[in-house]
């Protein structure tokens, strides 16, 4: 079974998953209301990142990845407090 921390990272980094992994992810999101709400937040953040990149092409991808990592850290810290 995937842990909440792993779920957050998979969603935030848009990691490639096997079919089984995708099913596990869906199952986890269905069962876990915390990850479900975080996955929604992350998808909003991701779409905002894309907008920023499209609008400001001079932004380096490295900087975007840094921001992603910061967001993941914040979310993980919140998840750990709930456990």
User: Which residues of the chain form contacts with Zn ion (CB under 5 A)?
Assistant: 4, 32, 35
Least distance CB 1 / Zn ion (angstroms) = 10
Of 30 and 65, CB closest to Zn ion:
30
Q: What is the DSSP letter of 17?
A: -
Least distance CB 40 / Zn ion (angstroms) = 13
**Residue 58 region by backbone torsions, left for phi larger than 0, else alpha for psi between -120 and 50, else beta:** alpha
Of 27 and 66, CB closest to Zn ion:
27
Of 4 and 25, CB closest to Zn ion:
4
Strand extents, DSSP E, the chain: none
Residue bearing tokens 């848009």: 14
């Amino acid at each position: 079974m995937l842990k909440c921390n792993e779920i957050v990272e998979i969603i935030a980094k848009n990691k490639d998953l096997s079919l089984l992994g995708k099913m596990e992810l869906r199952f986890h999101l269905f069962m876990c209301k915390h990850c479900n709400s975080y996955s929604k937040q992350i998808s909003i953040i991701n779409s905002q990142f894309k907008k920023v990149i499209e609008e400001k092409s001079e932004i380096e991808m490295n900087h975007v990845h840094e921001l992603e990592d910061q967001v993941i850290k914040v979310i993980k810290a919140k998840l750990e407090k709930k456990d």
